Amino acid sequence: MFHQALGVAIHPEGSAERPVPFVEIRSTDPARAGETATLTYDYLVNATGPKLNFAATPGLGPEGNSLSVCTASHAVEAAERLQECIERMRAGQRQTLVIGTGHGTCTCEGAAFEYAFNVEHELREAGVREMADIIYLSNEYELGDFGVGGMVFTQKGFQTTSKTWTESLFRERGMRAVLQAHVHKVEPGQLTYEQLDGSMHTLDFDFAMLLPPFRGADLVAYDAQGNDITSTLFAPSGLMKVDADYTSKPFEEWRAEDWPHTYQTPSYPNVFAVGIAFAPPHQISRPRTSPNGTLIAPAPPRTGMPSGVMGKVVAENIAAMIDSGSTTPKHTASMARMGAACIASAGAGLRRGTAAAMTMYPIVPDYQRWPDSGGRSPKDTYGEIGLGAHWIKTLLHFMFIYKAKAKPGWFLIPE
């Protein structure tokens, strides 16, 4: 049964009046705005995705002074504003376009990276590229970090890094990168940012698409007596705690085993969280703090393939638990034992398109197992740039839509 509604509270023990687990929901139908109801459950999977936390940076976002591509309506608005920029360039006005992350703890740098190169492609197609300064503004310590600590590629017996690989794209396209940056505020036509060395800067812009940091959906939780147990189920970020090691420890002591395997909550065996909704035990990239105490470190990316694999494993575990009556999941999907592929478009066209394709295994580095190749398997971690990658990106697009619509044979398409 499908309910289009907003989840607002979880009661994993039920209540005195209703001794079965349930969630409170609020209608999102304009005709029934504000109406509330409850849904009982035997198993609960928190797969809300993130809350777009534009409020973390004053002036950030479409309601402020920058743009976003995180929702369909945001992307449409950004496209319209980009077209306005193009028209101004055609009229002889030079434009500065800033694309990147709007906070020091953002994730999904890959999305900003891809959008930057798509914009660059659109400007070339419009014949106005020479009138634009494109600046990539990121919280990454170096290009090619992507929130996963960077990668080491081994091809034909030679090793290179995602840093070198990514820098070559920026040089080739004449784009400038500003790294190690935390945006403090976005004002009309100007943003203020701090870099890891503690220095403060301002940057004027005509167009700014800056991704927000993510936090968990605004869910609260109560026990059977009505006591607030939100801090038991959720981390301060609003993301749900699962079977991970949340012990605070220095980077040198991080281990692949810290990461969750089943995504089951420790307190309630019938509650799971997947994708962005679960709280990671720590970053994947090394955390760094400026002399001013500002954390400038990418949060771990968990969208795309990883989310699909997690969701599948949780579904398999719930089915197995129902069949066996057990509360112990038997299937696992640790990000430290999971590979991922990412293809970032850098221009469309069956003959002139290009994309940057990367694969890595595992997502979370295992420095004990692969100490000489950045914590990842050399034979499973590589990158390619070119037309072939663009064709694959196009194919995957149609395959994803096909699978999402559950058309015949959808289950044969991998995550």
3-state secondary structure labels for all residues of 344-386: EECCCCCCCCCEEEEEECCCCCCCCCCCCCCCCCHHHCEEEEE
| Beta-strand pair 382-386/355-360 | antiparallel
pLDDT score at 16: 87
Looking at the DSSP bridge assignments, the partners of residue 44 are 271
Looking at the DSSP bridge assignments, the partners of residue 300 are none
Query: Which residue reads 């991970």 in tokens?
Result: 244
pLDDT score at 33: 75
Extents of the domains making up the chain: 5-52+215-336
pLDDT score at 158: 78
CA proximity to 238, closest of 218, 260, 212, 211: 218
Mean pLDDT by 10 residues, the chain (415 residues): 89 93 89 85 95 97 97 96 98 98 94 94 95 98 94 81 90 95 98 98 98 95 96 96 96 95 96 96 95 96 90 96 94 94 80 83 94 91 83 85 90 83
Looking at the DSSP bridge assignments, the partners of residue 129 are none
* Cα distance between the two ends of the chain: 24
CA proximity to 106, closest of 160, 145, 78: 145
Distance CA 6, CA 36 (A): 9
pLDDT score at 365: 95
Q: CA gyration radius for the chain?
A: 22
CATH architecture of 5-52+215-336: 3-Layer(bba) Sandwich (3.50)
CA proximity to 298, closest of 103, 165, 52: 103
Distance CA 301, CA 148 (A): 7
pLDDT score at 384: 82
CA proximity to 13, closest of 321, 267, 231, 219: 267
